[in-house]
């Protein structure tokens, strides 16, 4: 079987009865305008011949690859998936492809993927580090690749984060207003992300309310629903379990709620639960989850907007940290503590 050679622009030009330069103007949408009727002839010839542009050649001529890298800790956490989808939409509208890498919170994989993106000569990278950001950023910075970092506040770096202290205050104030005084927390293992402030806020708000900070009520957890389940089991095994639990994210909260159910208890009659993130499935749980919501779609969109501006060298964009607002979404997983009198 004879291998079919790629169609050239010259063949398209001959079929349409125009010059090769005109075909280039139509394919590249410029730099010179082409009459609508001529554009129609060229596009018809492209369709008939099955021509497609040589993206490698175009990249070399533009000194760009029209690709953006995205490094995230997990491909299964709905929040990261929503960020990726929003970022991709913003990039595709501008003709950019997003190369996605989920690292499984493995710091070595994060660095390896950063080096891979550098080798691919991507035009920019959006990254949500799970460990030391500098180890990931260094190979990209050495190559002069623009970077946007999520959930961090780093000097001289474009960052987008959420107000985790405010989010924690909203959650804790809600539980305190319901009358809870023995409030537990399931926190994630420490990382460099600003989300560690959720534990700081939890501890400080208890003290502000005149309540003691009891370290036995704080369980440090790995990621995932199974980890949330196991962490909740530890809290339930305490001689005096909490009447409410503030949980680092909704994924952990789902596992915790299942552990409560399997223990023969009811949310919120026996224990109130507050999550964080407001993932897409939180409203469909039984009961629907009270949680702290942040504009996840806006985070992806803003990250895409900034990385494209940096990649296209449009204007003077000084590094800064953009802090996105949060809000509390009250659903049916919280109620006053049970009356034990």
DSSP string, 244-309: EEEESSHHHHHHHHHHHHHTT--TTTT-EEEEEE--TTGGGSSSPPEEEE--HHHHHHHHHHHHHH
> What span, in angstroms and rounded, lies between the C-alpha atoms of 255 and 232?
8
> What span, in angstroms and rounded, lies between the C-alpha atoms of 44 and 15?
9
Instruction: Name the CATH superfamily, with its identifier, for domain 9-53.
Output: lambda repressor-like DNA-binding domains (1.10.260.40)
The domains spanning 9-53 and 63-162+296-325 adopt the same CATH topology: no
Res 40: pLDDT? 92
Q: Which CATH architecture has domain 63-162+296-325?
A: 3-Layer(aba) Sandwich (3.40)
Q: What percent of the chain has pLDDT over 90?
A: 69
Which pTM was predicted?
0.80
Length of the chain: 341
Selection from 136, 72, 132, 62 nearest residue 99 by Cα: 72
Res 218: pLDDT? 98
Please list the pLDDT of the chain residue by residue as tens digits (341 residues). Answer: 445 577 788 888 999 999 988 887 887 776 778 888 998 999 898 888 887 765 545 544 455 688 999 999 988 888 999 999 999 999 988 889 999 998 988 889 999 999 999 998 899 999 999 877 898 999 999 999 999 999 999 999 999 999 999 999 999 999 999 999 999 999 998 887 889 999 999 999 999 999 999 999 999 999 899 999 999 999 999 999 999 999 999 999 999 999 999 999 999 999 999 999 999 899 999 999 999 999 999 999 999 999 999 998 865 789 999 999 999 999 999 999 998 64
164-293 CATH: 3.40.50.2300
Helix, strand or coil, per DSSP, at residue 70: strand
> What span, in angstroms and rounded, lies between the C-alpha atoms of 214 and 184?
9
Query: What is the DSSP pairing of strand 290-293 with strand 327-329?
Result: antiparallel
- Calculate the alpha carbon distances from 44 to 15, 16, 39, 313 in Å: 9, 8, 9, 34
| Spans of all domains in the chain | 9-53, 63-162+296-325, 164-293
Given the structure tokens 């104030």, which residue do they identify?
173
DSSP H stretches of helix in 178-263: 197-208, 225-236, 250-262
pLDDT in tens, 154-204: 999 999 999 999 999 999 999 999 999 999 999 998 887 889 999 999 999
Phi first, then psi: what are they for 68, rounded to 5°? -125, 135
Q: What is the DSSP letter of 187?
A: E
Both tokens of 50, joined, read: 């099955």
Res 63: pLDDT? 55
- Calculate the alpha carbon distances from 287 to 180, 276, 278, 284, 305 in Å: 19, 15, 14, 8, 37
């Amino acid at each position: 079987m004879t291998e079919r050679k790629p169609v050239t622009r010259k063949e398209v030009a001959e079929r349409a009865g125009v010059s090769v330069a005109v075909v280039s103007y139509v394919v590249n949408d410029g730099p010179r305008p082409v009459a609508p009727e001529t554009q129609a002839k060229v596009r018809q010839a492209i369709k008939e011949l099955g021509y497609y542009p040589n993206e490698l050649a175009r990249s070399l001529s533009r000194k760009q690859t029209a690709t953006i890298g995205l490094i995230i800790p997990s491909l299964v956490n709905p929040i990261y998936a929503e960020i990726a989808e929003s970022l991709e939409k913003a990039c595709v509208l501008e003709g950019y492809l997003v190369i996605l890498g989920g690292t499984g919170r493995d710091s070595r994989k994060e660095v390896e993927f950063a080096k891979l993106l550098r080798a691919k000569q991507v035009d920019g990278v959006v990254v949500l580090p799970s460990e030391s950001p500098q180890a990931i950023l260094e190979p990209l910075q050495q190559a002069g690749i623009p970077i946007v970092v999520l959930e961090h506040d780093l000097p001289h770096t474009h960052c987008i984060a959420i107000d985790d202290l405010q989010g924690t205050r909203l959650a804790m104030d809600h539980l305190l207003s319901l009358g809870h005084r023995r409030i537990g927390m399931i926190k994630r293992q420490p990382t460099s992300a600003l989300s560690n402030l959720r534990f700081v806020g939890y501890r400080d708000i208890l003290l502000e309310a005149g309540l003691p900070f009891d370290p036995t009520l704080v369980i440090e957890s790995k990621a995932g629903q199974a980890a949330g389940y196991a962490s909740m089991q530890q809290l339930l095994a305490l001689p005096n379990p909490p009447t409410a639990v503030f949980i680092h994210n909704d994924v952990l909260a789902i596992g915790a709620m299942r552990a409560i159910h399997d223990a023969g208890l009811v949310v919120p009659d026996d224990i109130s639960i507050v999550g964080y993130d407001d993932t897409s499935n939180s409203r469909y749980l039984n009961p629907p989850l009270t949680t702290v919501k942040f504009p996840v779609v806006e985070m992806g969109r803003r990250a895409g907007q900034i990385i494209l501006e940096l990649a296209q060298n449009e204007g003077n964009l000084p590094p800064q940290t953009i802090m996105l607002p949060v809000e509390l979404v009250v659903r049916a997983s919280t109620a006053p503590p049970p009356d034990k009198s």
